[in-house]
A and B are shown apart, each in its own frame.
Chain A
């Protein structure tokens, strides 16, 4: 009986990277929006949210394409 360490490791790496990345980017966006009257922060925040939306769309595409 062989344990597929490679697949397990891939799941671990992908999950860690995508979770921490998504949450980090989204947090930056939320923090940017919370800062009052800073146009640059606002713009940056929307870029962050767009990146998150793209990641979610890719996730849904993964479900459908499977």
Chain B
């Protein structure tokens, strides 16, 4: 199996890259509302999420052992090339949704990639249709609704109970509660998502004959997967954090607390009962629910609509990219090289596009509309200086759609 080593190495590296994108894509889940309510400073919040993700990765390996959750037939002839194609599909979709600032599910991207690559490389019999419906589609529909309902009711109750209390005196308490529940979400995220990558790497090692079938992930796999997701989390997907913390609805500490508790409860209840659901969808659902639960809160349905559309597209889109990649990787070494180069080029292009309108920990809490208005100017500093000395023009910059990106 000496000649397999390079390919397996590439698959492992790609899996770690996916884990990294998974980390920064999902920082928002635990920390978006914690940051937007000011319970924690942005950098502190992502550092805490990163540490808890790392801790979570070590807590259990139960998910890693059933990586594909029975969605693909692992005995039907899974090859490292296929896993590579699946990962490329998942990474490309994760990067695209990050550029758009949309919280979409990293798990669905991975599942979509695996399904797409399997359909091309193995055929229809390689995919268990029933498992796809039962384990992916139904939880995808149910999870945000359950989490949203729970946090709507909790928000209502909380505002009712505290209607006579002084908001200034209680805000500190809710912020503390929010930090605790956000920590729980981070921990649950580490145990679930870091393990998916461990499972993928272990699967690659098994197909390459490096470790025995049904083996536990080796320690170095656990360490590197945990480190990759923690690093990604620490880098922070600020674009998505802004969407979830500010874009969907305005969140007060009380609502943030209700939303995070609802999300943590949903994740724990369902993963304990064997549903693999998307942390992202649960958290977005509960943020929406918290928005609906407070009288006078603005829920931005257009942003929510775009987000739900991205959820629907995630599985097929990642699957399509992975299917194309699988077609190429099936051709042999030059195909794998082509896919690798194309994947790197796409990621570089997306990074460049993101640089035009950077969102970092310094401006994550700015109002999205105001930030977009300034960011649509190509030479921000120059135009800002000009705008400062001349009277405002007739057309407000914010009303023109972004021409670039």
The answer, yes or no, to whether B140 is at the interface (CB within 8 Å) is no
Contact at B274–A7, with CB atoms within 8 Å? yes
Q: How many chain B residues touch A (Cβ–Cβ < 8 Å)?
A: 51
Q: How many chain A residues touch B (Cβ–Cβ < 8 Å)?
A: 34
Given contacts A12-B146, A20-B154, contact A64 B272 (CB under 8 A): no
Question: Which residues of the partner chain A approach B150 to less than 8 Å between Cβ atoms?
Answer: 15-16, 19-20
Q: Which residues of A contact B (CB under 8 A)?
A: 1, 3-4, 7-8, 10-12, 14-16, 18-20, 22-24, 26-31, 33-35, 52, 56, 59-60, 62-64, 66
The answer, yes or no, to whether B328 is at the interface (CB within 8 Å) is no
CB distance from B329 to the nearest CB of A (A): 32
CB distance from B226 to the nearest CB of A (A): 15
CB distance from A21 to the nearest CB of B (A): 9
The answer, yes or no, to whether B10 is at the interface (CB within 8 Å) is no
Task: Provide 19 A-B residue pairs closer than 8 Å at the C-beta atoms, listed in order of the A residue.
Answer: A1-B130, A7-B273, A11-B142, A15-B147, A15-B265, A15-B269, A16-B146, A16-B149, A16-B153, A19-B153, A19-B154, A19-B258, A22-B261, A23-B154, A24-B158, A31-B165, A60-B184, A63-B187, A63-B191
Residue of B130, B149, B262, B268 near A62 (CB, 8 A) is B268
The answer, yes or no, to whether B353 is at the interface (CB within 8 Å) is no
Given contacts A11-B146, A19-B261, A28-B161, contact A63 B188 (CB under 8 A): yes
Contact at B177–A19, with CB atoms within 8 Å? no
Interface residue SS majority, chain A? helix
The CA-CA distance from A64 to B268 in the complex, in Å, is 11
Question: Which residues of the partner chain B approach A34 to less than 8 Å between Cβ atoms?
Answer: 165-166, 169-170, 173
Given contacts A11-B275, A59-B184, A63-B56, contact A30 B174 (CB under 8 A): yes
A30 closest partner in B (C-beta): B173
Question: Which residues of the partner chain A approach B187 to less than 8 Å between Cβ atoms?
Answer: 60, 63
The CA-CA distance from A18 to B174 in the complex, in Å, is 17
Residue of A11, A59, A64 near B60 (CB, 8 A) is A64
The CA-CA distance from A18 to B154 in the complex, in Å, is 10
Contact at A23–B264, with CB atoms within 8 Å? no
The CA-CA distance from A14 to B267 in the complex, in Å, is 11
Question: Which residues of the partner chain B approach A66 to less than 8 Å between Cβ atoms?
Answer: 60, 62, 191, 271-272
CB distance from A12 to the nearest CB of B (A): 5
The answer, yes or no, to whether B384 is at the interface (CB within 8 Å) is no
Question: Which residues of the partner chain B approach A26 to less than 8 Å between Cβ atoms?
Answer: 173, 177, 257, 261
